[in-house]
Each structure stands twice: as C-alpha cells, then as structure tokens.
Amino acid sequence: MYKDYKKAISSSIEVKKKLISLEGKIRLAVKLVYETIKRNNKVFICGNGGSAADAQHLAAEFLVRLRPNVNRRSYPVISLAQDTSTITACGNDLGFENLFSRNLEGLANKNDLLMVLSTSGNSKNILKVLKFSKKIGLKSLALLGNKGGEAKGIANIDVIVPEKNTARIQECHIFMGHFIFEQVEDLLIKKIK
C-alpha cells in the first residue's frame, strides 16, 4: 500500500510539472478574469461531478474569502449548478444537457465571463453552455483535460492539462483555479489601494 501511495504522489508531481508549459495560457486567464471583475461583471463557473464540486469551491473562494489573511469585498463568481431544485427541475423538464445554458441565459449580462471545468471536454451540457455563451457574446475560459475533447477550440482560452487520469486532471484544475484567483485577487486589491 505504501508503495502505491508514493507512486500516486510521484504521478501527481509529474503531471503538475507539465503545467509549467501552460504559463502563457494562465497569464491570459488571469487577465480575462481580472478584467471581467474589474468592470463589475460576473464570472459564471460550472462543471460536472468532481468538477462541479471544484467549480462551487472556487466560487465560494471569491464570494467569501480565498485567503484567511486577506479581507476584501465579495467578488461575483457564481456556480451554475445553483441548487438541487434548479438542477432537478431542469433535468426533469428540459434535460440535463440544458442545465448550465439555461441558468446562464437567466443570469448573464453582457461582458460577463463563463468558466468551465471538464476533464473530458465532451460533456453535452459543457459543450452546450460554451456554444451558448459564444452566441450571446460572452467570453469563455475552459480548464480541460486529456486533449481537450470536443470543447477544445470553443472557448476564448483553453487550458488543457495533458493527462488522461481524471484525478490528476482535477488536482491540476483546482491548483490552476486557486492560482488564477490568487493572482486576480492580488491585482484587484492593488487597484483598490
């Protein structure tokens, strides 16, 4: 068992080393999120399964607080997996593939931003919300895995973790999400001072 534990840690480290080559894309992502919030617009974030949990986690970090020693105003980062009533109503009445696009339709305004997390890039509801965001003129940021799946190329910025293992991809997505949001928070706080 211990051997498997060390192997898993080594695997996680090796995948994260690959993220160094994505620095340019991460800089663009930071700029996009920062400019959106600086204009007093909203960031909508979504994903399925573990990625839904990560999306909610990141939204909470901006709505409440990212770092315990940084007290600042709440920033409008909102999960599109609203609540169980909305999720089940949409799934039942309109189909689960419409969940994120339906919520975005009701909540988004011009110049808001869509951020998606998807390990495969092939989820129907992720593809639909990316295409819908483009249709209504929103910019989008996609944190993807493997080779990006069908979602590759739809968003304004794709950040693709070059890995097949879902757990390793999700670990990278939460790391990148935290890093992006830390950089954005620093920029917003400097602007206020």
Average pLDDT over residues 6-27: 95
**pLDDT, position 70:** 85
**pLDDT, position 190:** 83
pLDDT (tens digit, 9 = 90+) per residue, 38-79?
Answer: 999 999 999 999 999 999 999 999 999 899 888 899 999 999
pTM: 0.94
CA distance 57 to 70: 17
pLDDT (tens digit, 9 = 90+) per residue, 161-177?
Answer: 999 999 999 999 999 99
Separation in Å, CA 91 to CA 72, 79, 87, 103, 106? 36, 17, 6, 12, 16
Closest CA to 81 of 58, 109, 53, 61: 53
Domain boundaries along the sequence of the chain: 2-192
Of the spans 70-74, 179-183, 189-193, which averages the highest pLDDT?
179-183
- Indicate the SS3 state at residue 109: coil
Give the distance from CA 56 to its chain's centroid. 9
**Which class would CATH give 2-192?**
alpha beta
